[in-house]
Structure 1
Amino acid sequence: MTDLRIRRTKANIQRAFIQLVNQVGFKHVTVKSIADTALINRQTFYKHYEDKYQLADEMIDDFVAIYDQELEKRLVLKAQNVSFEESFGILFPEVQQLVAHRFDTLNALLTIQTDQPSLEKKLQQVMIQHFNQFLPEEMTAFEKVIISSLLVNLFDYFVTHKQLPELADVKKTLTDFLLLLK
């Protein structure tokens, strides 16, 4: 278990980083501005992160891991013979809550573009991995990429509109889209 002071310092650094990215954009955030906002010195920042890029990558990976845990719940439901549609109805409100509680973080992370895969790309990769476990095998790789892209864009929609669409609207859109592919 990590020392409470270390966890608190990292949380302050991350909060400062998110605040700054949302205010001035990732490109204009500096280690000095993060340290000043977090009320620490730069050396303290460097004890935890190499630079702002490592901080961004770690925060993206953390968000993806949390989302991955939500998708893991689908596998549990599948083992209980819960249909995909029913699972979607169970898990969608949890995803809504996940993104609602992390709005500022999600808003910032979606804007970060580095030489590492973006949040969207990592979310899409995780979705495709899970699709391989719980969607019909006859779905092509192309269909999986398209569906995962649509679902990832729900995060962008949420940030832009400050709300997720209703479950019924998502289901209808996905169903209509799948019918177009057939």
Structure 2
Amino acid sequence: MTDHRFLRTDQDIERNFVSLLRTMSFNDITIAKLVDKTMISRPTFYEHFDNLYDLAERTVEEYLRPFEEIFAESLDRKSKHVGIQEIYPQFANKIADTLIGYRKEYLAVRKIPLGTNSFDQRLKEILLTNLAPYFSDSQNKLNVIYLTGILLGNLDFVLEEQRVPKVSEVLAGMDSVMEIISGKGV
């Protein structure tokens, strides 16, 4: 049986860790500062986490969980030919609600320097994994990578503008990029 006090302490540590991240860089956070802010002892911290990197990785995973759930729910129907108009509306608003509701926290968590385990890298893996079944051949692998890039760009847009770009805006942006690539636009 799960001890609710232990879980609550986990959550308190994570919440205070993110709160510190909002005001200072990860490299400036110490266990001493964190236990002081959380009002726990150092041994209590070590009962829950091995070190700050363990806390950081678990915090990133916690903040990725809603995305995994949204993608699993929204992308459960397999199709060989899926356009952005079909995929995008299924999860864009749910993602935006999550991002906007916890905007400052997501901005802080995205700054944790964990390399391949960072928030953005892990989200990219989640996107690639969930989008890959919609595309069959190797040429479409490039499409999955492009679509993942667009969705990651949308994440930046939602955090900055605090709204979901309309499908027409996304398509117009893609058209503009294609004009630049083809040499027609500047």
TM-score range, shorter chain: 0.7 to 0.9
Contact 2:154 2:165 (8 Å CA) reproduced: no
Identity of aligned residues (%): 19
| Cα distance, 1:78–1:145 mapped onto 2, change above 3 Å | closer
Partner of 1:57: 57
Unaligned runs of 5+ in 2: none
Amino acid at match of 1:68: E
Unaligned runs of 5+ in 1: none
Alpha-carbon shift at residue 113 of structure 1 (Å):
0.8
Amino acid at match of 1:2: T
Contact 2:17 2:34 (8 Å CA) reproduced: yes
Taking the aligned partners of 2:83 and 2:146, their CA distance within structure 1 comes to: 21
Alpha-carbon shift at residue 73 of structure 1 (Å):
1.9
Runs of 4+ in 1 over 4 A off after TM superposition: 174-182
> Superposed, which structure 2 residues align to 1:6-21 within 5 Å?
6-21=6-21
Taking the aligned partners of 1:76 and 1:144, their CA distance within structure 2 comes to: 16
1:43 aligns with 2:43: yes
**Which structure has the greater CA radius of gyration?**
2
Partner of 2:67: 67
| Cα distance, 1:165–1:146 mapped onto 2, change above 3 Å | same
| Cα distance, 1:100–1:29 mapped onto 2, change above 3 Å | same
1:31 aligns with 2:31: yes
| Cα distance, 1:44–1:76 mapped onto 2, change above 3 Å | same
TM-score (normalizing by structure 1): 0.82
Partner of 1:131: 131
Alpha-carbon shift at residue 157 of structure 1 (Å):
3.3
Taking the aligned partners of 2:3 and 2:35, their CA distance within structure 1 comes to: 20
Alpha-carbon shift at residue 141 of structure 1 (Å):
3.1
* Corresponding pairs, count: 180
1:76 aligns with 2:76: yes
TM-score (normalizing by structure 2): 0.81
**Deviations 1:154-180 (CA, angstroms, capped at 9, x unpaired):** 333333x25134223234434665788
**Deviations 1:16-75 (CA, angstroms, capped at 9, x unpaired):** 101101101111011111111111111111111011111111111222232121111233
Contact 2:116 2:122 (8 Å CA) reproduced: no
Amino acid at match of 1:69: E
Taking the aligned partners of 1:73 and 1:50, their CA distance within structure 2 comes to: 33
Contact 1:21 1:108 (8 Å CA) reproduced: yes
Taking the aligned partners of 1:68 and 1:95, their CA distance within structure 2 comes to: 10
Amino acid at match of 1:167: K
1:93 aligns with 2:93: yes
| Cα distance, 1:150–1:75 mapped onto 2, change above 3 Å | closer
